[in-house]
Structure 1
Amino acid sequence: MLFLLTGEVQIGKTRWLEGLVADLAERGVPCAGALAPGQWVASAGERADGNGYEKLGIDNVLLPVGERVPFARRGDLARADGTFDKDSQAARAELAWHISDAAIEHVNAHFEKLRSLACAESAPESEGSPRLRCPGLLVVDELGRLEIWRGGGLTEAVALLAEGPSAVFPHALVVVRDYLADDAEALLAEAWPDRMRIAPDKEGQVAVLSAVFARCKSTYGDER
């Protein structure tokens, strides 16, 4: 099953997803991929949200290793501190967030390793490495304009998703803005005939947990 976690900006999609990943980890379900938490500071400025915090950038936390990669910086700040690269993918796409090509390459390398793992797990046991203890959830936070409209950005994440369900990743969860949801679904429809759009709420959590444990009931046991 492919879950498309969608909605407007700053409604708590990543915070909700962090909670879901933590919940699954406690139940013994591995998650792999990337989370994209924001870099927030207390602020009383015009860019502060309703809680008095201002978003300066976005990290990528690579799962399951937990490595934190500085990924994106607000465009005005990148211009002010001299880190803005006018030739980068993000600049050419005129994104509000400036993402260095080096950061994209780093995260792509992580997804490339996950693709290799998925291939090894799908091979006959005699031909590959020892099997994972249980299937997991592939997490991609997020696919944006670079990936969906321009064929760039996290190309290895898209390539892994395009391979569809696998023995190691029978389910995937992709974060996507609401205005990109139709195009994201069309991009992945062939690989994932079973898919569902969810919101960062209790109903979405139940949908993911139900799918994960229905698929892995024999592995996890009824008590979970």
Structure 2
Amino acid sequence: MLYILTGDVQTGKSRWLEKHVKKLAADHVNCYGVISAGVWVESDSTRANTQGFEKRGIECILLPNLERFEFAKRTDISKKEGTFDERSQAGKAGLGWHISDEAIAQVNAHFHNIAEKAQRGMIRGVLVVDELGRLELDRGEGLVEAVRLLEEGASGSFSNALVVARSELAMRVADRFADAWGGAQIILPE
């Protein structure tokens, strides 16, 4: 089954996912893939949420080993720091987050490694993709190795997958991948 965790921007999808991946690990269920966790700082700016925190970046957590690295910065911050690359996939797409092509390549290499292990029957668990967005769904770019795994569907290694997608993209994810996974269910971070 394909589970699609959805909600509006900054509604706690990745925090919910992190918590549930830990619960699954405690129950001896391995998760393979990536969580895209927000990097939040205390702030009194207009970008701060109601708790007084501002999201300034995104950090990838590679599952199952929990390796972390910087994945994205808000585009305005990246431009101010001089790290914005207009020729990058994210730059050409005009995203609100600047993701370096090197960071995308690192995540794709991780998913490629997962695919190879799955083909050899070396792993078993839940496939986790946080998140599919405009790069993947509109442009055929971004996390292309994750998309390939999702297109292959349920297998001996992965009978279930959990994908994060914003509300406006959730049905597109369901329409594209549900048949390969024997159906899809939309869930909310509650």
Amino acid at match of 1:197: I
> How many angstroms apart in 2 are the aligned matches of 1:118 and 1:12?
30
**TM-score normalised by length of structure 1:** 0.83
After TM superposition, the runs of 4+ consecutive aligned structure 1 residues lying more than 6 A away are none
In structure 1, the partner of 2:102 is: 102
Tell me the matched-pair count.
190
Q: Is the 8 A contact 2:39 2:57 kept in 1?
A: yes
1:77-107 Cα distance to aligned partner (Å, 9 max, x none): 0000010001011011110000000000000
SS in 1 for 2:111: helix
In structure 1, the partner of 2:59 is: 59
Partner of residue 161 from structure 1, selected from 146, 150, 157: 150
1:149: Cα distance to partner?
A: 0.9
> How many angstroms apart in 2 are the aligned matches of 1:106 and 1:187?
25
Q: Is the 8 A contact 1:146 1:152 kept in 2?
A: yes
> How many angstroms apart in 2 are the aligned matches of 1:194 and 1:118?
21
Amino acid at match of 1:139: V
Larger radius of gyration: 1
SS in 1 for 2:69: strand
Amino acid at match of 2:145: E
1:195: Cα distance to partner?
A: 1.3
Correspondence 1:8-157 to 2 at 5 A: 8-121=8-121, 131-132=122-123, 135-157=124-146
Consecutive unaligned residues of structure 2, counting only runs of 5 or more, are none
Amino acid at match of 2:90: A
1:52-83 Cα distance to aligned partner (Å, 9 max, x none): 00111001100011111211100000000010
**TM-score normalised by length of structure 2:** 0.97
1:150: Cα distance to partner?
A: 0.8
In structure 2, the partner of 1:210 is: none
TM-align CA RMSD: 1.0
Q: Is the 8 A contact 1:36 1:58 kept in 2?
A: yes
Identity %, equivalent residues: 51
Q: Is the 8 A contact 2:2 2:178 kept in 1?
A: no
Hey, which of these two has a bigger chunk of strand by percent? Answer: 2
Matched, 1:175 2:153: no
> How many angstroms apart in 2 are the aligned matches of 1:15 and 1:108?
22
1:192: Cα distance to partner?
A: 2.1
Bigger RCO of structures 1 and 2 (CA < 8 A, at least 6 apart): 2
1:194: Cα distance to partner?
A: 1.7
